[in-house]
Structure 1
């Protein structure tokens, strides 16, 4: 066995190990943390806050990622159990749901940053737009929008014959051959990472600017108003930490997809393919931490969240 063969085998083993280890860790973190998220965000102190509603809604979609997508990924990539390779309709529905449901939580957190901007604005008309009713409407419309954005996958995804470097033909669930693979990579990069992350950064910066302006202009208020401002500040801090986690976890996969789109027509040997597979497993595993760690970020950054959690344990 040549040194390249040994390296290739080592890279493949590392990729499988990273996939299995990260999937187990994310599953445990996600099941425990997301369950507590539901209990905490439905408590009286938080459930009437529009920002909390976005957190709660994203939790339900993250549950789908943890309980459905990750186990399916393990069965497919490690144990080679993939029903999508044998049923065309199942292939279309599974990939469509997997792509769209992973994207929606990122958009909901982006909506939460917009809500904090509106809530902290000195313009009373903007502040009135930060309400639970609008949060529910925005969540429904955004979820529908994302499902529509990925609806092309129902048409162009299916079971297609692929030829490997040895000339062997196999049927796989994939996008239509040709330019569609490049299009989907760019599409996913834009809607899963670029737009939500850009929205978070822009409105997060504007919110901080609003908060600093109000701190300088608003006189000393009554105890109730100070309590409300403390709640707003805690929610803003929780949101800021969650935004940073999402950006850090989703940006590498966007860079990887851009690289794959650029090099799609390059002739690649088996060593390079193994290296790309390892890189793919690393960046994809990283994205799942954006879906499984919100509870722990909220606990570390939000006093109001910790207090609600302690009251939950006391009960």
Structure 2
């Protein structure tokens, strides 16, 4: 009996420590990853690309999952704070968001893969179908579909007590719980990864077909390098999602087998631990996208460095106290009005020119006054010499001659 208690305590301790210490770290890394990825993909030179728009929607879905499903899991499993046990409405909301977020984010990756299939097609008419308008329509349509498809979770979740002194928020037992388990296994953890693999392989095959291009093709398609980098980012995201989501189907299958027979509390804790570890593993792809993209994509690194350089230049120039600051900020594209900066610089130059002119005029006046006095003195001296020469006697003049 004591060994069983120790075994149960060990299972609970592993689960608690995983979410108590690993959960906040993963949540912080995921928040930074999603925000920085959104900054990169919403830049002016990327937001006109349909694939970048799909990746923006993917990162928004990741943020939604981090601050709803993942946050509630960290609070309940790591800190023993479970709001779903005290409010039936919150219990409904929790499972609705859980199903919605786990289906919507990977769906955006599938849409991005389909867009890459279109853009890498050898057929020019097929490539023209990759447009921003269709991208927005697909994103809105898929979002509305999942919002309506999971609306049943708002009515068929309950707060129950399966064992003495054990209260949980769960799906309605019986057929509905079995349906949800098979739905998550078949749709979310088999069909969606399979579609990702098929679309990724199809995209890579199309990309290899158009690799041997001539100079004329490169001239007609100048964004080929950017598309290749986005395909690389997409393939990495798909691979990480498939790897870290692979643990969930076996855990769900084991849970389904356990429900067909009676089970002990130790077996229940084991399946709860497996489910929570699998769920924690499934959160990782939504939290590491920025870091993997930064490592594998040269284009992504360039965009990140340009953002850092721009922010550093903006902060450095903004701290300068001189009058030329507004003009310099305009040159660094900070957004200051060009006419205002030019007027400021012209006013500074004009004021300096006026001061120089005033000093020059004053010096010229002093020189002129000095020159006039000197001429008068010379004339007076010449007149005195003439007067003296007229007063001298003629004999003296002859003698001197």
TM-score where L is the length of structure 1: 0.92
Residue 146 (structure 1) aligns with: 146
Q: Which moved more, 1:233-242 or 1:81-90?
A: 81-90
Q: State whether residues 51 and 112 of structure 2, in contact with CA within 8 Å, keep that contact through their aligned partners in structure 1.
A: yes
Residue 24 (structure 2) aligns with: 24
1:170–1:8 distance in 2 versus 1, CA, 3 Å = closer
Q: State whether residues 107 and 142 of structure 1, in contact with CA within 8 Å, keep that contact through their aligned partners in structure 2.
A: yes
Q: Residues of 2 paired with 1:301 and 1:79: CA distance?
A: 36
Cα RMSD over matched residues? 1.9
Compute the displacement of 1:38 (Å): 1.2
Q: Which runs of 4+ in 1 moved over 4 A?
A: 222-227
Q: Residues of 1 paired with 2:299 and 2:142: CA distance?
A: 28
Q: Residues of 1 paired with 2:79 and 2:20: CA distance?
A: 11
Q: Residues of 2 paired with 1:15 and 1:83: CA distance?
A: 19
Residue 308 (structure 2) aligns with: 313
Residue 193 (structure 1) aligns with: 189
1:18-42 Cα deviation digits (max 9, x unpaired)? 1223312211111111111111111
Q: Residues of 2 paired with 1:190 and 1:259: CA distance?
A: 15
Output aligned runs, 1:33-182, within 5 Å.
33-159=33-159, 161-164=160-163, 168=164, 171-182=167-178
Q: State whether residues 89 and 158 of structure 1, in contact with CA within 8 Å, keep that contact through their aligned partners in structure 2.
A: no
1:7–1:183 distance in 2 versus 1, CA, 3 Å = same
Q: Residues of 1 paired with 2:296 and 2:40: CA distance?
A: 15
Unaligned 5+ segments in structure 2 are: 311-401
Number of aligned residue pairs: give it.
Answer: 310
Query: Which of these residues, 282, 285, 300, is aligned with residue 280 of structure 2?
Result: 285
Which has more radius of gyration?
A: 2
Q: Residues of 2 paired with 1:194 and 1:55: CA distance?
A: 22
Q: Secondary structure at the match of 2:155?
A: helix
Q: Whose RCO is larger (CA < 8 A, sep 6+)?
A: 1
Q: Which moved more, 1:102-111 or 1:188-197?
A: 188-197
Residue 6 (structure 1) aligns with: 6
TM-score where L is the length of structure 2: 0.73
Q: State whether residues 41 and 56 of structure 1, in contact with CA within 8 Å, keep that contact through their aligned partners in structure 2.
A: yes
Q: Residues of 2 paired with 1:4 and 1:180: CA distance?
A: 32
Output aligned runs, 1:160-309, within 5 Å.
161-164=160-163, 168=164, 171-216=167-212, 218-221=213-216, 224-225=219-220, 227-309=222-304
Compute the displacement of 1:10 (Å): 1.3
Q: State whether residues 68 and 97 of structure 2, in contact with CA within 8 Å, keep that contact through their aligned partners in structure 1.
A: no
Compute the displacement of 1:309 (Å): 0.6
Compute the displacement of 1:266 (Å): 2.4
Compute the displacement of 1:170 (Å): 5.6
